[in-house]
Structure formats: C-alpha cells, structure tokens
Amino acid sequence: MVRSPPIDSVGLVTQHKAVFEEPLALDCGRELPRYELVYETYGELNRDASNAILVCHALSGNHHAAGYHSEHDRKPGWWETCIGPGKPLDTNRFFVVCSNNLGGCHGSTGPASINPHTNKPYGDQFPVVTVRDWVRSQASLADQLGIKQWAAVAGGSLGGMQALQWAIDHPERLRHAIVIAAAPRLSAQNIGFNEVARQAIMGDPEFHGGRYYDYGVSPRRGLAVARMLGHITYLSDDAMRAKFGRDLRGSMSFDFDEVDFEVESYLRYQGQRFVQDFDANTYLLMTKALDYFDPAAEHSDDFSAAIEPIQCSTLLLSFSSDWRFAPSRSREILRALLQKEKPVSYMEIEATQGHDAFLMPIPRYLEAFSAYMGNVAREVEI
C-alpha cells in the first residue's frame, strides 16, 4: 500500500555506511582489522555541530530508528514515537544519528560479514563485543561526522546502558545522557533469561557451532524461542492479561502442535517474524554484551566510583510496570549520581506496558522527555 508518512514523521530516509580502515581494539583482547557501521540521520547538523544527538539501540534494534525506507513500508523505525518534528528528539532542532551496533545484522560489521582473513563469514569467529566497544566505535563515527560533542546521547534498555557508558568513557563528548529503562548492571535473573535464550539458539540442530552460514541454514527454531522468551519479559503480566487473557483460539485441541491460546499464537507469530530478519549469532552477541555490562566491576563493585568521571547532566526515566529493568534499578543509578553530586533528574512514569513502555506513546513520558530536551535545545542555543 502506498501512502505518505504522517507530518510528524521524518518521512523517507536512507541509510549510510561509514568505513573504518584502522583496527579497533576490543575488550576481549582481540581486534577487528577494519569495520563498517551502517547508520541513519534525521534533521540537519548545524554549523557548529552543537545540535547532534546519538541514539543507541537496544538488543534487537538497528540503525533504522525513525521514518520509512519506502512508501511501501508497513512500519516506521523503532523509535518513531520519540524522533521527528515536534517530538522529544525534535528533528526541526536536532540532528539525530543512530547506528547499527558492531556485531549487528543490519549492515554493520558482524558475524555474517566476511572475515578478511578467511574470505568466509565470521560466524563463531566474530569476537564478543561489549558496550564499551560499541561506544568506542560510535566515537569513531562521531569523529568521521565532525561531531566533537553530542548535545545528548540517548537510549532505552541496552541503549540506555550505552548512553551511561558514553558519559563515563568520554565525559567531555556529551552534554546530556538520556538513560531510559536501564540498570547499572544485570541481575542474576536477567542473566538467567539471557542464558536460556542462548541455549535455545545453540541447542538448535541447525546452529552448527555458529557456522550455519556455511550450510545455508539458520537456527530458526532456537532463535524464535529466544525471542518468545524475551517478549514475555518485555511485557507486564497486566499487559499480557489485558491483551490475551486465557482466550482460546478455538476449542481445546488436546494436542501439543496446535495453538490453543491466543497468547501462544501471538508469541509464535512474534518469533517467526523475528527470525526473518535477525541473525542468531547477533542475538548471542547482544545478550552477552548485556551480561558483561558492569561499570562497577573495575571499581570493586562500587558503582558510584565508576560514575565519578561523569560531567554531563543525566536524565533517568523508568516505568512502573517494567520488571525486566524495574524502577528500583534506575534508582540505583540515581543514588550513585546523587552521591557524587552529579546533575541528574529522574522520573518514574506510571505505565502498564512493562519494559516495552519506552517505545510507546505514553503522554506523560513524552511530555517529560520533551520538556527536558527543550531545555537541552535552549542550552545549546538552537
């Protein structure tokens, strides 16, 4: 179906590719000899490059954060709610950049890319990357775009953790960190969910030790199960009850292959849709990066010592029904920032949607985010 995008959308967008020929040293001790990052931009960079905002994506996200790739696109980018004219990340004022993380599967160098040493896909040979590695690669992208300092680095969930890592690693290179529905590190429960997801993928007979590209297959069943599990944790109990209850699709089948309940149908659909454009090795990498994220680890588990270098102002937002990264986790970040007398604002937003709330058009959330960004715009005089 052909239709024109709504007026508060950035409209049709195209992706760009940045190529880096110098090697990137990684936390795991290995290095990538060369790498590429695919990214999109929305809005115009001003003359002194003071209006740039970096948006970091979460686990299954990519560089397509807003707008449409074609008139036939069914859905806009993943953060259409927050990016566009008049929206919190107002593209009339800001220049928004979003890149596909290293290890991703939407164009940036990742497990499906060709390893220059072997001329075959990296597969299981792709190094495990960390949040800090991503920040390093994004800093190189900023250099290439001529952006010395971001007006803000923003993200939700794993994206919020990247924003936090940015503030710690490059204090002078951002004025604000927007950290939404995130945590200072994962809980054992969080890591547990990630491990179950990984085992589902690695246990699939078509995984072939991560070298499934060589066999022309992919561990679709395992990846779909991983996504189904993830999906349950992103929603709240209330949201699932409201959406599906215990509604049956027809009558009970007394069979395991058939779909009985609406919620089963929904999860199977989500899983199937996901495997169409997501790479299993990338899923393994992204969950591992989440597990390893822990700025306090190098400071004897003292998170407030880890955030000591931060110079920017921080906005923390959390959602009441989020149990994957509950408001109490955001408060841990808040407490450390307060203890070190860093500029910080925090708001817990009442929302029924669970962890996914950061992607939803919740009026109070958008109002607060907009108010904060309006002040950022005044601060950089745009």
Partner 1 sequence: MNPLRRELEIVADWIEPGSRVLDLGCGDGTLLQYLVQRKGVTAYGLEIDPRKVTRCMDRGVNVVRADLDEGLADFHRDSFDHVIMSQTIQAVRYPDKLLEDLLRVGRHGIVTFPNIGYWRLRMQLLLRGRMPRSPALPNAWYNSPNIHLCTLRDFERLCSSMGIEILERRTLDRAHRSNPLLNLSPNLLAEVAIYRFVRGSQSR
CB 285 to partner 1: min, Å: 35
Single out the residue of 128, 229, 347, 360 in contact with partner 1 (rule: CB under 8 A): 347
Q: Which residues, 6+ apart, have CB-to-CB distance to 269 below 8 Å?
A: none
Which letter does DSSP use for residue 254 in this model? S
Q: Does 237 bind partner 1 (CB under 8 A)?
A: no
Q: From residue 250, how far is each of 255, 256, 261, 269 by CA, in Å?
A: 13, 14, 8, 17
Rounded to whole angstroms, the Cα distance separating 306 from 176 reads 17
Handedness of CA 372, 170, 148, 161 (dihedral sign): negative
Q: Does 183 bind partner 1 (CB under 8 A)?
A: no
Rounded to whole angstroms, the Cα distance separating 182 from 164 reads 9
Q: Does 349 bind partner 1 (CB under 8 A)?
A: yes
Q: Does 17 bind partner 1 (CB under 8 A)?
A: no
378 annotated to bind ligand:
no
Single out the residue of 94, 278, 293, 346 in contact with partner 1 (rule: CB under 8 A): 346
Whether the Cβ atoms of residue 338 and residue 344 lie closer than 8 Å to each other:
yes
Q: Does 339 bind partner 1 (CB under 8 A)?
A: yes
Beta strands in the chain (DSSP E): 16-20, 24-25, 31-32, 35-42, 52-56, 83-84, 89-90, 95-99, 114-115, 120-121, 152-156, 176-180, 313-319, 344-349
Nearer to partner 1 (CB atom), residue 25 or residue 338: 338
Classify 226 as helix, strand or coil: helix
268 annotated to bind ligand:
no
Q: From residue 205, how far is each of 125, 200, 215, 220 by CA, in Å?
A: 19, 10, 12, 10
Q: Are strands 24-25 and 16-20 parallel, antiparallel or unpaired?
A: unpaired
Nearer to partner 1 (CB atom), residue 208 or residue 299: 299
Q: Are strands 344-349 and 313-319 parallel, antiparallel or unpaired?
A: parallel
Number of residues that bind partner 1 (CB under 8 A): 25
CB 64 to partner 1: min, Å: 28
Q: What is the CA radius of gyration of the chain?
A: 21
Stretch that binds partner 1, among 188-196, 210-218, 258-266, 372-380 (CB under 8 A): 372-380
Q: Does 334 bind partner 1 (CB under 8 A)?
A: yes
Single out the residue of 94, 113, 372, 380 in contact with partner 1 (rule: CB under 8 A): 372
Stretch that binds partner 1, among 186-194, 269-277, 284-292, 330-338 (CB under 8 A): 330-338
Q: Pattern of binders to partner 1 over 278-317, x per CB under 8 A? A: -----------------------------------x-x--
CB 180 to partner 1: min, Å: 14
Single out the residue of 12, 331, 357, 362 in contact with partner 1 (rule: CB under 8 A): 331
Query: Across-strand partners of 120?
Result: 115
CB 334 to partner 1: min, Å: 7
Give me the active site residues, please.
157, 322, 355
Rounded to whole angstroms, the Cα distance separating 33 from 284 reads 22
Classify 95 as helix, strand or coil: strand
Q: Which 351-370 residues touch partner 1, going by CB under 8 A?
A: 364, 367-368
CB 227 to partner 1: min, Å: 33
Single out the residue of 309, 335, 352, 360 in contact with partner 1 (rule: CB under 8 A): 335
Binding site listing = 227, 356
Name the site residues for partner 1 (rule: CB under 8 A): 313, 315, 331, 334-335, 338-339, 341, 343-350, 364, 367-368, 371-372, 374-375, 378-379
